[in-house]
Amino acid sequence: MEKYDIIIIGSGPAGLTSGIYAGRQGTKTLMIDKGPAGGLGLEVPMMENYPGYEIIAGMSLIKEMKKQALKTTPLKEMEEILSVQPNEDNFLIKSNKGEYLSKSIILCTGNQHRKLGVKGEDKFLGRGVCYCATCDGPLFAGKKVFMIGGGNTAVQEAIFLKNIGCDVTLVHRRDELRADKYLQKKLETLNIGIIWDTVVEEIKGEISLETIVLKNVKTSQENEVEAQGIFISVGDIPINKLAKELGVNLDQSGYIITDKFQKTNIPRVYAAGDITGGYKQWVIACSEGAVAAMAAYDDLEKIY
Ligand SMILES: Cc1cc2nc3c(=O)[nH]c(=O)nc-3n(C[C@H](O)[C@H](O)[C@H](O)COP(=O)(O)OP(=O)(O)OC[C@H]3O[C@@H](n4cnc5c(N)ncnc54)[C@H](O)[C@@H]3O)c2cc1C
């Protein structure tokens, strides 16, 4: 069985940064991701708040980070970790492809998209219902789409959809947006329409999405509108299954609790990035990933 000093589970911005730091420290480290490396980073259309770049697409930055991490740290993609258990002074890590032993673990498993939970949402997934504008948006150029949500991600994605030629309208359940002011200004400049105080009641169609039923939360009035696409961005759910199994302490929302060295309550288990809650930002995921790798190294020094 392959043995490591550090196994990093998840290779989004947090995991890749942990990989860069851990590899350069000389520890025997492996990064594993159930998808392609990049995580939610791959979905970021254009980022304007990552230091050093006035504007950069998530995919481009991931490509560079991956190249840098791979210089010192191997990566296994399309391999899902199914369980992690303490095993004497190691952790036994089982994936859908194999088993590993590691002295320490850095959990960088991020979040998954929250669903609306309305009728038709699952039925039309991939046939009009989408959770990632960067991935699926180009299929809807020239088509009528709705973006559901009011935070930074929803507004960024609405702007992206408009820029690639979609006829996009934002639907938000409140009467003001949570998104940063500079993003709201862009919405205005691009003349992207907003339907306020409104939620989606149902998603309808035959083979693919045809209409969505909107409901005004103040008047309770319902309105069925034609749509070829609906993009949903209404929050995230932490991917904490492995953390739970390990007995890692979570907060009320299911995010991993860490100290300032990214240590969890379980010795030699660290966590970094969106899975630790708080501000979900690229630069924060990177910085936590770096701290976790450095702390893991320091703790390994004590046991060797
Ligand atoms: C549309 C959009 C726009 C955004 N815009 C910005 C922005 O402008 N600026 C900014 O700073 N941030 C932005 N963000 C947020 C930023 O992308 C995230 O904060 C960042 O990706 C978090 O990185 P992470 O590594 O913690 O998690 P993720 O990127 O989510 O990566 C987690 C990884 O863990 C893997 N994983 C999970 N479970 C397992 C398992 N059991 N086995 C193996 N692998 C597993 C997943 O496959 C995934 O690759 C945006 C996000 C989105 C979606």
For residue 8, which of 235, 27, 173 has the smallest C-alpha distance? 27
| 3-state SS record for 192-258 | CEEECCEEEEEEEECCCEEEEEEEECCCCCEEEEECCEEEECCCEEECCHHHHHHCCCECCCCCECC
What pLDDT tens digit does each residue of the chain (304 aa) get? Answer: 999 999 999 999 999 999 999 999 989 999 999 999 999 999 888 888 899 999 999 999 999 999 999 999 999 999 999 999 998 889 999 999 999 999 999 999 999 999 999 999 999 998 999 998 988 899 999 999 999 999 999 999 999 999 999 999 999 999 999 999 999 999 999 999 999 999 999 999 999 999 999 999 999 999 999 999 999 999 999 999 999 999 999 999 999 999 999 999 999 999 999 999 988 899 999 999 999 999 999 999 887 6
**What single letter denotes the amino acid at residue 129?**
V
CB 268 within 8 Å of CB 262: no
Spot the catalytic one: 5, 108, 130, 132: 132
The residue whose C-alpha atom lies closest to atom 3 belonging to ligand 1 is 44
- Structural domains in the chain, CATH included, are 2-112+236-303 (3.50.50.60), 115-232 (3.50.50.60)
Cut 0.75: pTM above it? yes
For residue 100, the cross-strand partners are 2, 93
Q: Distance between alpha carbon 88 and the CA centroid of its chain, in Å?
A: 33
Indicate the top mutation candidate among 55, 100, 109 to test ligand 1's pocket, ranked by most ligand atoms within 8 A of CB: 109
Calpha distance 50→75 (Å, rounded):
24
What are the phi and psi torsion angles at 58 (to 5°)? -55, -45
Calpha distance 69→77 (Å, rounded):
13
State yes or no: is 166 an active-site residue: no
**What single letter denotes the amino acid at residue 142?**
G
| Residues in the ligand 1 pocket, defined by CB under 6 Å | 9-15, 32-35, 39-41, 43-44, 47, 49, 80-81, 108-111, 153, 156-157, 239, 242, 273-274, 280-283, 285
Question: Coil, helix or strand for 170?
Answer: strand
Closest atom, ligand 1, to C-alpha of 111 = 30
Strand 229-232 vs strand 129-130: parallel, antiparallel, or unpaired?
A: parallel
Question: Coil, helix or strand for 86?
Answer: strand
For residue 264, which of 111, 107, 109 has the smallest C-alpha distance? 107
State yes or no: is 136 an active-site residue: yes
Task: Measure 271 CA to ligand 1 centroid, in angstroms.
Answer: 14
What are the phi and psi torsion angles at 196 (to 5°)? -85, 160
